[in-house]
Amino acid sequence: MKVYCKKEKALWPKTSWCRTLLLTGSLVVLAPGASHAQDANAKPFLHRLFTDNMVLQRDMPDPIWGWTTPGQKVTVAVRGRSVSTVAGADGKWMTKIGPLPVGGPYTVTVSGPQTATLNNVMSGDVWICSGQSNMEMGIANVNNAQQEIANANYPMIRLYTVPKSIQTEPQPLVNSQWQVCDPQTVANGGWGGFSAVSYFFGRGLYQKLKVPIGLIHTSWGGTVAEAWTSAEALNTMADFKPAVATLQQAAAAAKNGPVDFNKAMADWYQKNDPGSANGLGWAEAALTTTGWKTMNLPQAWEGAGLPDFDGIVWFRKDFDLDDTWNGKDVVLHLGPIDDRDTTWVNGTPVGATDSVQPMRDYKIPANVLHTGHNVIAVRVLDTGGAGGFYGKAGDMRLEATGANAPAPISLAGDWVYQVGVALNKTGPLPQHLNDNPNNVTVLYNGMIAPLIPFAIKGAIWYQGESNGGRGLQYRTLLPTMINDWRSRFGVGQFPFFIVQLANFTDTKPDPEQGDDGWSGVREAQLMTAQTLPKVGVAVTTDIGEAKDIHPKNKQEVGRRLALNALAIAYGQKLEYSGPIYRSMKKDGNTIHLTFDHVDGGLVAQGGNKLEGFSIAGADKKFVWADARIEGNTVAVSSPLVPNPVAVRYAWAENPVANLFNKEGLPASPFRTDRDVK
């Protein structure tokens, strides 16, 4: 894109907004409540979504906008036609162009007090690609990455990455640049290059449709869905209304000067947590822990006696040292902790971390440790999803450094724990405005709002891991977010396609122990597709990895999303989904299940025996079941359950399950007892 001043024929580089900047994968964190610019003179003549190499949405008029002096006339011209508008009192101007015929390239000229020229513009389909780390994961991290990058010559696919931005108010601007898809552009920036799921989805569409495809990638790893939802939408949900109010109050207070977050948190702990009251409280070295329970660490506490718990839990561990530790520099390693921890050794604070990902490596001050008995106390605050210690056993150790250092002491194993307080029993949690992407609304404000009302075909969404354990809430949250986006973009009920969470973690031998919170999210994702129009779900419980939350087979994820789009968004007659549970009928000791998306028949993938089904009677104690295919139905029974009432399939974080249709697509996990919360 070139921007000219009316008074000059040369490029006008005086202000930063006259230059197009490649900011792929960058992080923008502004002061609370600040906008990129608050007056028209500081905003660009043309919004930065409009650059060379862009894709405009076909088959509809495309909004185009920017800022100039109030009252100034602005004219947009393309293909020999022009349309004019006048900037409003706030300096903003907006008009619509097209619809343009599919293809290109076109040149778009915007003239007024300045002139901006957009070159190599295509008309095709534009898709927003959003979510958390599995959407963010770049092409350099996937299977066969080197060959995939080398083959990524698709000049009709265009890429745009939204920089990461935490904002407490909706923002008008985004800084990035459209790029032509080639081996260099897909491999550069971000976490291993351009979003792999986005790329493989776009490639799948282009190969079938042969129209230009624009991919707007806007994601952030480890984030929750409520961060991507507007304040107005969240205020319709009782679960989030207090958090929205707290954020807005904190943002308003921050405008009057800096807020001491550490002091605010200390006051909150003392007021709400019994373990933090009265000085050291439960960090006191001599504390008696009679009545505390035991938990084997590391593991998320949801699977160890605290299901669906958000709040504060205290952990303590005793250990002994001999005199070989005297005078040594010692580091306490605890691995990653979800979300926040404060850690003491023998009653002395040694470290605190406010975010999930960092490894906890705390140097213990001199003279804190001593020969004989010592004790570690850790206060953990989890605000949503899984909580607690989630690294590997080897991450938890006490380690001395220097010459003649003794062998490290493992801290994995049994710790005692005591619940401090549940988050739903406390006052509002102080908000760390500047660097917490999981605050409500902040990513909608910084990474979705600036795109509105750009004309789009639809959206794809790979998120939900961070909402694990809150499946019932997600049933409402996800459709609320989708409806919110749809109402704001102004292009009707645009297609929206969801990646159902992949399989992850070790498999469990008992069907009663297999779910640590992801099954409910998968169910909510499926229910959203079943209840909202033009929404589909790509099932991926067969292509995850037990030891990696970021599975590398993103090619198949993109292909399955593209199948959904080709069928639902483009009306092609093809099978886009694996079997979806429809109904059940009891016949004696057997439950017969019927499914949709089985016109070609059902298959036990990889063998003759169906796996992954469990069955229960009125006591709701599930046991593994015998399951067999009977035409387009499945018959489920067990000699241990003479009077069954419910069946579940693939109801685990990492299910061993193999029901497919003959198109090679896996059945979605389900339970017939959805009424169970």
pLDDT along the chain (677 residues), means of 10: 35 25 32 38 90 98 98 98 98 97 98 98 99 97 97 98 96 97 93 96 99 98 96 95 88 82 89 92 96 95 87 97 94 92 97 86 95 98 84 92 92 97 86 82 98 99 93 96 98 98 92 82 98 99 94 98 99 98 97 95 93 97 97 97 98 96 98 83
Among residues 335, 340, 334, the alpha carbon closest in space to that of 316 is found at: 334
Residues spanned by CATH 2.60.120.260 within the chain?
268-425
Residues spanned by CATH 3.40.50.1110 within the chain?
2-233+439-569
Q: Reduced to 3 states, what is the DSSP secondary structure of residue 555?
A: helix
Quick count: other Cβ atoms within 10 Å of Cβ 571? 7
Name which CATH class applies to 268-425: mainly beta
For residues 500 and 494, is the Cβ–Cβ distance under 8 A?
A: no
State the pLDDT at residue 429. Answer: 80
For residues 140 and 26, is the Cβ–Cβ distance under 8 A?
A: no
State the pLDDT at residue 24. Answer: 28
For residues 500 and 549, is the Cβ–Cβ distance under 8 A?
A: no
Give the bridge partners for 477, in sequence order: none
For residues 389 and 396, is the Cβ–Cβ distance under 8 A?
A: yes
Burial category of 7 from C-beta neighbours within 10 Å (exposed 0-12, middle 13-18, buried 19 and up): exposed
For residues 318 and 375, is the Cβ–Cβ distance under 8 A?
A: yes
State the pLDDT at residue 677. Answer: 58
Cβ neighbours of residue 302 under 8 Å, at least 6 residues apart? 308, 309, 386, 387, 468, 469, 516, 517
State the pLDDT at residue 514. Answer: 67
pTM for the complete prediction?
0.80
Give the bridge partners for 375, in sequence order: 318
Q: CA-to-CA distance for 491 and 129, rounded, in angstroms? A: 17
Cβ neighbours of residue 109 under 8 Å, at least 6 residues apart? 76, 77, 78, 115, 116, 117, 118
State the pLDDT at residue 234. Answer: 98
CATH number of 2-233+439-569: 3.40.50.1110
Give CA separation, 566 vs 154, 458, 492, in Å: 19, 12, 18
pLDDT single digits (tens) 308-345: 898 999 999 999 999 999 999 999 999 999 889 999 99
For residues 539 and 562, is the Cβ–Cβ distance under 8 A?
A: no
For residues 296 and 413, is the Cβ–Cβ distance under 8 A?
A: yes
